[in-house]
C-alpha cells in the first residue's frame, strides 16, 4: 500500500491537468476578452455553435463540460448581444436550440484567427512534445463506455 505521506500533489496527474487547463484557459481569455468583450463561457458556447451548428444547451453542457447554469447565462448574454438565437427544439420541446446569427458568425470569424494564433504559440512552446500530448489527451477524452 502506498505511503499516504509520500503523496506529491505536484506530480498527481489529475491536479496537473486541471491546473494546466485553467492556466491555459485564463491566458487565452485575456486575449479575446479585451478585444471582443466576451467571457470564457461565452467563447466556449460560440465555438461549439460554430463547430456543431444548431444545438441545445444540454448538448453544449455535455460537450464542453460546463455547468448548465453557466452555459445558460452565457447563452442569454450572447442572445442579448445579438450573436445567437434561442428557439424551442422541434424534437424535444423541453430543450432550447441555440444558433449563431449572422453577427455571431462574423464575431467567430474574427475570434478564430486569435484562437489559431494562440494554439500555434502553444504548439511551438511544446515543440516535439506536442504530438505525444495530443495522443494522450485523445485517449483521456474518449467517451466513457
Q: Which residue carries 485575456 as its cell?
A: 30
Please give the backbone phi and psi of residue 142, each rounded to the nearest 5 degrees, phi first.
-60, 145
Cα(132)–Cα(64) distance, rounded to whole angstroms? 22
Q: For residue 144, with 0-12 CB atoms within 10 Å meaning exposed, 13-18 middle and 19 or more buried, which class applies? A: exposed
* pTM, to two decimals: 0.82
Which CATH number is 9-141 given?
1.10.10.10
- Please state the domain extents for the chain: 9-141
- Encode pLDDT of 90-117 as tens digits: 777 777 889 999 999 999 999 999 999 9
Question: What is the per-residue pLDDT for 59?
Answer: 84
- Encode pLDDT of 31-50 as tens digits: 999 899 999 999 999 999 99
Sheet of 84-88: strands edge to edge?
55-56, 96-100, 84-88
Helix axis angle for 102-126 and 40-52, nearest 10°, is 100
Amino acid at each position: 500500500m502506498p505511503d499516504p505521506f509520500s503523496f506529491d500533489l505536484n506530480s498527481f496527474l489529475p491536479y496537473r491537468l486541471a491546473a494546466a487547463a485553467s492556466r491555459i484557459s485564463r491566458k487565452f481569455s485575456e486575449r479575446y476578452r479585451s478585444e471582443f468583450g466576451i467571457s470564457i463561457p461565452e467563447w466556449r458556447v460560440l465555438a461549439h455553435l460554430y463547430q456543431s451548428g444548431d444545438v441545445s444547451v444540454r448538448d453544449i453542457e455535455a460537450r464542453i463540460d460546463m455547468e448548465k447554469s453557466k452555459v445558460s447565462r452565457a447563452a442569454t448574454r450572447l442572445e442579448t448581444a445579438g450573436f445567437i438565437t434561442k428557439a424551442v427544439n422541434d424534437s424535444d420541446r423541453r430543450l432550447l436550440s441555440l444558433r449563431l446569427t449572422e453577427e455571431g458568425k462574423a464575431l467567430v470569424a474574427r475570434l478564430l484567427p486569435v484562437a489559431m494564433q494562440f494554439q500555434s504559440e502553444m504548439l511551438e512552446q511544446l515543440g516535439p512534445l506536442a504530438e505525444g500530448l495530443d495522443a494522450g489527451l485523445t485517449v483521456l477524452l474518449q467517451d466513457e463506455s
